[in-house]
Amino acid sequence: MGLIDAIYKWLKDNLGKTTDTANSTGSLHAKIAELRTYINSLVSTRQKPRGTVASGNFSTNQTTYQTALNIAGKGKLVGLYATVCTGAYSSKVKVTIDGTFVCYGWAGGSETQTIFTCYPDKSFIFKNTEFLENDMVNMTQLYLDPMVDPRNAELAFKTSLKIELSNKFGQGAKCGWIYELE
């Protein structure tokens, strides 16, 4: 009986009960509960399946930033393009996530054609250097510079997403987007 008692006690101490409280140093049941709690904490920080997928576009002939999109919620901007219209030379999009300016995008063109820039296309420029805001020439030079890496931005948002659009001479600019919300 002594051996059986010892085995029972070992099992009781190490396996524990299903009702054991989560504890990383407790019984096996307690450890599993602790692990479940940890996994849940990880999963809850990841993007959930999408509840809403919406697309749209916006055109303007204004030379100051106009708000093309302004939404609240948690989700991800999964597609974004900017282009210019006939007679225009450049347009800029400005992306603000959770109230914080993140990056600019840029589209440039000649009189007859435009360079298409679309996230996540590698040629889409996302730069957060503040001087680019007021200096299109510098932006153009950076774009043409093969040494510049046009980094893409992380476009998941927790509370809000805002896209603004402007064009340089007022002939017209257009941007479009696709976003997902939880």
Residue from 54, 122, 129, 151 in contact with another protein (CB under 8 A): 54
Residue from 85, 136, 142, 178 in contact with another protein (CB under 8 A): 85
Residue from 30, 33, 80, 84 in contact with another protein (CB under 8 A): 84
Q: Please name the amino acid found at residue 7.
A: I
When asked if residue 90 is in the footprint of another protein (CB under 8 A), the reply is no
For another protein, the binding residues in 139-178 under the rule CB under 8 A are 164, 171-172, 174
Cis peptide before 150 (omega within 30 of 0): no
CA 122, 150, 95, 58 dihedral sign is negative
For residue 84, what are its two tokens? Answer: 């210019």
Q: How near is the Cβ of 87 to another protein at its closest, in Å?
A: 6
Q: How near is the Cβ of 55 to another protein at its closest, in Å?
A: 8
| C-alpha to C-alpha distance for 16 and 18, rounded to whole angstroms | 7
Residue from 22, 26, 96, 116 in contact with another protein (CB under 8 A): 116
Candidates 21-29, 86-94, 131-139, 148-156; binding stretch for another protein (CB under 8 A) = 86-94
* Cβ-based neighbour number of residue 25 at 10 Å: 7
Q: How many Å from the N-terminal Cα to the C-terminal Cα in the chain?
A: 59
Cα 3 to the chain's mean position, in Å? 61
Among residues 84 and 139, whose Cβ is nearest to another protein? Answer: 84
Residue from 16, 76, 83, 102 in contact with another protein (CB under 8 A): 83
* Cβ-based neighbour number of residue 173 at 10 Å: 30
When asked if residue 96 is in the footprint of another protein (CB under 8 A), the reply is no
- Strand, helix or coil for residue 108: strand
Binding site for another protein (CB under 8 A): 54-62, 64-71, 83-88, 109-110, 112-116, 164, 171-172, 174
